[in-house]
Structure 1
Amino acid sequence: MTLRLYVSLWEHPGRADDLASFEDAVLALLPIHGGRLLARDRVVDRLTDDPLEVQLIEMPDENALAAFLADPIRAALSRSYHRDVIIARTQLLRVKPVPRPSNGLGDA
């Protein structure tokens, strides 16, 4: 079953550009595991506890997600970029699309 994931990322102070560079490298691995990046956005007008970046990712199934998370290249990138120094918090939410109403009200 296809998985949709919302990923929210918070940076340590002063590390916004480093977070973006790290995510550029890590997200490039998604296709190897059958994944797709559907959206990647930076939060504007942030409040105190808002993430810096949000991503919508699609993976073919739980096995593909597990393989992506355990990818040795991803682990090496985490070490070389010093992920724990860059990223303060990550939240991963499994989501599903909300069906559009069949009465035509959802059409714009």
Structure 2
Amino acid sequence: MTIQLCVFLWARPGAVEALTAYEDKVLALLSQHDGRLVERARTADGAAPDAPAEVQLIEFRSQAGYDGFLADPRRTAMSAERDAAIARTDLFPVTLT
């Protein structure tokens, strides 16, 4: 069963670059868990102040791949970096068409 997700990420004040750097590192792990980044977009200048800093579409070939990604010790070791950069994450299962 394919897992498809839409992820919205909000940066802490002044931490947009830190959010981007963290996501660069963690997204690089996707392929090792049968996952792939379908699309990644950053909020344009002039967007609503409450808009997320970044939106991602991610796909995993299986629940096991997704679970493995979440439990990856390289990812979990970066939790302090994540907490310093990311204020909020909303994640939704989606169907990509």
| TM-score, with structure 1 as normaliser | 0.84
Q: SS of 1:64's equivalent?
A: helix
**Unaligned stretches of 5+ in structure 1?**
99-108
Give the aligned partner of residue 62 of structure 1.
63
**Which letter maps to 2:18?**
D
**Which letter maps to 1:10?**
W
Give the aligned partner of residue 102 of structure 1.
none
**Which letter maps to 1:69?**
L
How far is the alpha carbon of 1:97 from its aligned partner?
Answer: 2.7
**4+ residue runs over 4 A deviation:** none
Distance in 1, Cα, partners of 2:95 & 2:30: 19
Higher gyration radius (CA): 1
Give the aligned partner of residue 8 of structure 1.
8
Please give the per-residue CA displacement for 1:10-33, whole angstroms capped at 9, x wherever unaligned.
000000000000000000000000
How far is the alpha carbon of 1:78 from its aligned partner?
Answer: 2.2
Larger RCO: 1 or 2 (CA < 8 Å, sep 6+): 2
Identity within the alignment, %: 48
**Which letter maps to 1:23?**
E
User: What is the root-mean-square deviation in Å for CA atoms of aligned residues?
Assistant: 1.1
Q: SS of 2:96's equivalent?
A: coil
Distance in 1, Cα, partners of 2:8 & 2:17: 16
